[in-house]
Amino acid sequence: MKTFILLSWAGAVLFAASLAGCAHVPTASTGDVTPLFRDALFKPPAEPIDSRTIFAVDASMRRFLAEEIIPQTRRKDPRQALLDALHGKLLIDYDSEMTRTASQTFAAHEGNCLSLVIMAAALAKQLDIRVTYQEVYDFDTWSRDAGFAILSQHVNLVLGPRVSNLRFYQGDATPMIVDFLPPRQVANAATRPIPEQTVVAMYMNNRAAEVMIGGDIDRAYWFARAAIEADPGFSDAANTLGVIYLERNHRAPAERAMRYALQREPDNISAITNLSTLLAREGRTAEARALEQRLAQLQRHPPFEFYDRGMEAMRTGQFREAARLFEKALSERPYDVPSHFALAIAAAHLGDLRRARQQLELAEQNSTTPESRAIYAAKLRHLESLN
């Protein structure tokens, strides 16, 4: 059975999903999106899905601003005061398990890149700091969960000057970026500014993917619906909606949603992959093959090709070949944790414990949840105990 791809904003998720490439910028559409929706097929949510909660600042956040940040702005650039807080008392650990609102991220001190952007933007607005949301290219990662292939893409936040800036600070003209990645890694990255309505759609799309992977298809539908309503031009939300329909075997509305996504972003790899899968299941072989040919032009290799081949080589005891294939996988996806871990295993079988240790360290560093980081740290300690 072919896996559907979802999109996540490290970052968000579902069937075969991907964000827009640099060459194509999806634009918001004012067209009618109601034909995409089939509300009667899904149980209404127990709690309304309200986009106003995403950037809401609660009492604890206001207290933190008043006590920890605003006093600092009397002697330094407010942007720097906010960044200092984000790197100090407000330090957020990376956690891809759930995309959080501003207040949830603040309370948990955990979140993915989208969660961090949302929280930082909410705080910045309270300080009258202009914010620019950015989509960042070339930091895509793939993962698999519950039968879904998940493409996670990256966003960050640029802090601009104060809206009413009566004071000037050294370095006013220098952009300040909020990001989990070190500045040197994103300094030369290709970026695209995105409007806040797209950020809202990304949040809703992430939540749709996350709850769908958790098995709640009904709730996933309402999140995907909210994503499309927030930004009708955000094609990944339509792709996610299509996957949700397919999970309930509603093929006609699924096809409609995926074709809507491709109308807005013809090179959307996730939507192409998912639609070709749907058409193949229906026996529409010629249409499916045409999409597969288009996908081959856009994508040199399927995302898990070298990893899967490497695992097969390990199963047959070909550890040197397995190591070569895992290296190939990492050359295309340098932050892929399963490939780092698998390469560590292959290296250990080849007697190269130094390399095994190095790959375990990279697996720990690139892990996207506290639980997985703890697992790889324990494996690393075990390996070091053998020396």
E strand or H helix that includes residue 386: none
Taking residues 122-150, what's their average pLDDT?
90
Adjacent-strand bridge partners of 134: 156, 193
279 in the same domain as 165: yes
Adjacent-strand bridge partners of 144: 149
2 in the same domain as 112: yes
Nearest C-alpha neighbor of 225 from the set 95, 25, 212: 212
Kindly list the distances between the CA atom of residue 311 and the CA atoms of 251, 325, 352, 374, 375, in Å, as whole numbers in the listed order. Answer: 34, 9, 18, 23, 20
Residue 182 clears pLDDT 60, i.e. is over it: yes
293 in the same domain as 310: no
218 in the same domain as 363: no
Q: How many CA atoms lie within 13 A of 166 on its CB side?
A: 2
Taking residues 101-124, what's their average pLDDT?
97
Tally of domains within the chain? 2
pLDDT in tens, 54-103: 999 999 999 999 999 999 999 999 999 999 999 999 999 998 889 999 99
* Domain membership of residue 36 as a residue range: 1-299
Rounded to two decimals, the pTM is 0.87
Nearest C-alpha neighbor of 186 from the set 143, 151, 142, 134: 134
376 in the same domain as 276: no
Which residues, at least 6 apart from 25, have a Cβ–Cβ distance to it below 8 Å?
192
Instruction: Find out whether 210 and 98 touch, Cβ atoms under 8 Å.
Output: yes
204 in the same domain as 98: yes
With cut-offs at 50, 70 and 90, classify the pLDDT of residue 5: low
263 in the same domain as 378: no
- CATH code for position 317: 1.25.40.10
CA 150, 20, 280: angle at the middle one, nearest 5?
55
What beta strand segments (E) does 46-147 contain? Answer: 93-94, 110-111, 129-145
Kindly list the distances between the CA atom of residue 25 and the CA atoms of 28, 30, 264, in Å, as whole numbers in the listed order. Answer: 10, 16, 9
Residue 255 clears pLDDT 80, i.e. is over it: yes
**Last-in-domain residue among 242, 276, 299:** 299
Q: Which two tokens stand for residue 113?
A: 């890149």
Instruction: Find out whether 96 and 10 touch, Cβ atoms under 8 Å.
Output: yes
pLDDT in tens, 315-356: 999 999 999 999 999 998 888 899 999 999 999 999 999 999
Predicted confidence at residue 117, as pLDDT, reads 97
281 in the same domain as 309: no
Q: Which two tokens stand for residue 133?
A: 């949301």
Cα–Cα distance between 239 and 235 in angstroms, integer? 6
Kindly report which listed range (57-66, 119-128, 212-221, 362-371) carries the lowest average pLDDT score: 362-371
346 in the same domain as 207: no
43 in the same domain as 18: yes
Instruction: Find out whether 175 and 156 touch, Cβ atoms under 8 Å.
Output: no
Residue 228 clears pLDDT 60, i.e. is over it: yes
**Last-in-domain residue among 299, 334, 367:** 299
293 in the same domain as 316: no
Which amino acid does the sequence have at 264? Answer: R
Taking residues 270-285, what's their average pLDDT?
95
Distance of CA 335 to the CA centre of its chain: 13
With cut-offs at 50, 70 and 90, classify the pLDDT of residue 175: confident
48 in the same domain as 29: yes
Instruction: Find out whether 177 and 34 touch, Cβ atoms under 8 Å.
Output: no
Q: Which two tokens stand for residue 204?
A: 């809703």
**Last-in-domain residue among 267, 299, 331:** 299
Taking residues 1-23, what's their average pLDDT?
38
